[in-house]
Every structure is written in C-alpha cells, then in structure tokens.
Structure 1
C-alpha cells in the first residue's frame, strides 16, 4: 500500500487548484463569452511592478484554466498588459461590458481600452471550436486591453471578475472538510518532524560531548 502521507501529498495540489482565488466558472450564453485571454509582462523582472501579473499568472490562471479548459490562454514576455476578447450575438451586451468594468476603475488605477464592436469573420476564424454565440447566427466580437502596473494582486482578479462576470466555483462541503483535515494533518506532521529532529539533535550533541570527554580523558592519561 502506498504510504498515506505520500497519497495525501498527491491530493494537496488537486485541492489547491480546484479551490481558491481564481477558481471560477465563466458565464454561459446569452452573456458575452470570453473567447481568448492573453497576458504579457516582463517575466525576467521580480519587482513591485510585475508582482500583480506574476500572481495572476501563477495562482489565478491555473485555477481558471482548470475550471474552463476550453478557454485559450497565452502568457508571453512583453509589456505589462492583459487582453480579453469577448464574443456575443447581442451587441448591447458587448456594450455593457465597458460600463460595468469601469465601476472598478473609477480611481484611475486601471487603464482599460475597449475596442469597437466588430462582426465576427466566419470564414477566417481561427477559433478551435465554434462558440455558442457564433452557432446561433450573427456573432460580434470586442476586446479590451488592460495596462498593468503596481496594482494590488487582489484588485487585478477583482477587475477580471467584474469584466467577465465569472462566478466563484461553488465550495463542496465534503472537499472543504477534507482540505481542513489535510491542513491539520500536515501541521501535526511538521510538529512531529520538529520533535524528532530535536531528539536526533540532542542525541548527536550527547555523542559529541561524550567523544570530547573521552578524548580529554585519553589526553590526561597520556600526560601521566
């Protein structure tokens, strides 16, 4: 049988990606559909200006992709910006996206630029699978580009939630209870590890002191 601790450690990453900030479900039609997400930032720099984008990339996007596997996501080296492309058969719904997202940027922290609404080109489309909007008839697209700066990490995700109207993944009480048990298990495991280490260190120290005493006794005997 596989060691229980090893099996539980394998479960931990699964729980981490299924729950937490970023674990969200994109809305179904008739709301506008997010058809592409592109994130660019200076991945070689580790400073305040790139921290929000880095956290969004490392923590939020894996959870978002897990719950929305059909969403194309690209992360590239480049100037700090987040680009979202929406598609809908309802032009008014695409219009409302801009006014809704502005509610979170009234302080001037964000600089979001929305493109005009355009009819989707059916012939030259490179979408991997037809979206629900395009299958219903005429489809329209609209994109937004958000310039990234030294924002708070949480505020970037909050802006994304407002712009896309995504909903947090519903908590499963059974999984939540299991995650709590895992946390307790690993917390106790760390306490036990420290206790064992302290015991081993004490034994090692005693052996070193005993060796020193023997060496001292041997030197005294030789001097006589």
Structure 2
C-alpha cells in the first residue's frame, strides 16, 4: 500500500499536469502543432521556452492524439514561431485524410520528432490542411497562450469541486511541510551551535590545563 506522503506527492504531480496554463481540449479539426525557437532563452526566446516547459505538457495530456513537435536551433537571432495545422472543411465525423493516415502509419523511426539541432522545421500544410502561425518572439508565455486559445478555439479545462478540495489539501500539506522543515532546521542548527560551543570550551579547558603544567 502506498504511504500517505507518497500518495500526496503523486496527487500533487497529477494535479499540476491536469490543471494550470495550457489545460485545454483542442477542437477535432486541429491535426498537429509545431513550435520553432532557439535552444537558449535570451534574444526573445524566453516566452516560447516557458510555454514549451509549462503549457505544452498540459496540452499534450488533454490531447494525446495530436502530434506536438518542438524544433529548436542554436540560431538565437532566428524567429520563434508556432504553427497550428487545421483540417480544412471538416467536422468531427469526417474521415481522416489520406496523407494524415499515411503519416500516422509510418514507423516511429521515420516519423518527424522533436529536435534541438533544427532537424525538423515547420513543414508546409499538406493537402486538405491550412496553417495558422503565432509569432512568439519577444512575447510573454501568457500572451502566447492567450493567442493560442483564441486562434484554436480550445476549451479551457477547469478543476472539478473534488479536485479543488484536493488542490487545497496539497497546498496545506506543502505549507505544513515548510513549517516542519523550518523547525527541524532550527533544531539541527541549535544542536550544531551547542556542539561548537562545547568543543570551544573543551579546547579552552585543555589549553588552561596545559599552561598550568
């Protein structure tokens, strides 16, 4: 049986993944998402990097079937762009396109994958697709997310009442943990200080004893 502390840690990680910036369900006409930015955060790439680290995992959690590829390069002066691909003139009941079906049937080794060496820049839209882009350079991650939600018409996910209770319990546990750690630290610091004082007193006593001999 999982102990309560470990269970709470797992719950905390799950809640953090399920809720927060980027927790949204995308409409069925979105076929894939591509992000292109530099490997380092400076020169206008901090916002895209934060969106990738914070928002994209939640988007992937709620939309596991939608490919989300990240292509980074060492070109800090280059653009930072998000490409959102839409299936044209489609509804949720339309069949998947032939090109999309073929792409999904490729072996994993042949499918495009995320890269830190600019191996997979954003491809042009395929037949039956259209692409909408977001310029992310020098833009805060919150603004990127707001524009993304507006252009995709995504449905933002909000915590249920039970999840709000769990989130409150997790936060209270974190606060109690911080208090407990502070108490333990003070106890250890006081003990070490006492040991140092006893050691100094012992050294002084030995020095006095040696001087009187």
Please tell me the TM-score bracket, short chain as reference.
0.7 to 0.9
In the TM superposition, what whole-angstrom CA distance separates every residue of 1:18-73 from its partner, at most 9, and x where no partner exists?
00010001135xxxx11010001101x22251111011111111000100111111
Q: Go from structure 1 to structure 2 and tell me whether the alpha carbon gap of 1:3 and 1:121 turns closer, same or farther (over 3 Å shift).
A: closer
Gaps of 5+ in 1: 92-119, 130-138
Query: Does residue 140 of structure 2 align to residue 152 of structure 1?
Result: yes
User: Which residue in 2 is equivalent to 1:27?
Assistant: 27
2-structure distance, mates of 1:127, 1:159: 28
Gaps of 5+ in 2: 74-78, 106-126
User: Which residue in 2 is equivalent to 1:219?
Assistant: 207
In the TM superposition, what whole-angstrom CA distance separates every residue of 1:58-101 from its partner, at most 9, and x where no partner exists?
1111000100111111001144111111013259xxxxxxxxxx
RMSD: 2.2
SS in 2 for 1:71: coil
User: Which residue in 1 is equivalent to 2:69?
Assistant: 74
State the shift of 1:127 in Å: 4.3
Q: Go from structure 1 to structure 2 and tell me whether the alpha carbon gap of 1:14 and 1:90 turns closer, same or farther (over 3 Å shift).
A: closer
Q: Number of residues paired by the alignment?
A: 182
SS in 1 for 2:131: strand
User: Which residue in 1 is equivalent to 2:123?
Assistant: none
User: Which residue in 2 is equivalent to 1:128?
Assistant: 104
Deviates more, 1:163-172 or 1:2-11: 2-11
Q: Go from structure 1 to structure 2 and tell me whether the alpha carbon gap of 1:197 and 1:59 turns closer, same or farther (over 3 Å shift).
A: same
2-structure distance, mates of 1:121, 1:69: 19
Q: Go from structure 1 to structure 2 and tell me whether the alpha carbon gap of 1:123 and 1:10 turns closer, same or farther (over 3 Å shift).
A: closer
Instruction: Tell me, yes or no, if the aligned pair for 2:33 and 2:67 is still in contact at 8 Å.
Output: yes
SS in 1 for 2:197: helix
State the shift of 1:3 in Å: 3.5
TM-score, normalization: structure 2? 0.78
Q: Go from structure 1 to structure 2 and tell me whether the alpha carbon gap of 1:123 and 1:210 turns closer, same or farther (over 3 Å shift).
A: closer
1-structure distance, mates of 2:173, 2:31: 41
State the shift of 1:140 in Å: 3.5
Instruction: Tell me, yes or no, if the aligned pair for 1:90 and 1:140 is still in contact at 8 Å.
Output: no
2-structure distance, mates of 1:207, 1:68: 57
Where in structure 2 are the equivalents of 1:44-55 lying within 5 Å? 45-47=40-42, 49-55=44-50
Q: Go from structure 1 to structure 2 and tell me whether the alpha carbon gap of 1:5 and 1:121 turns closer, same or farther (over 3 Å shift).
A: closer
In the TM superposition, what whole-angstrom CA distance separates every residue of 1:105-150 from its partner, at most 9, and x where no partner exists?
xxxxxxxxxxxxxxx9736853428xxxxxxxxx942112223211
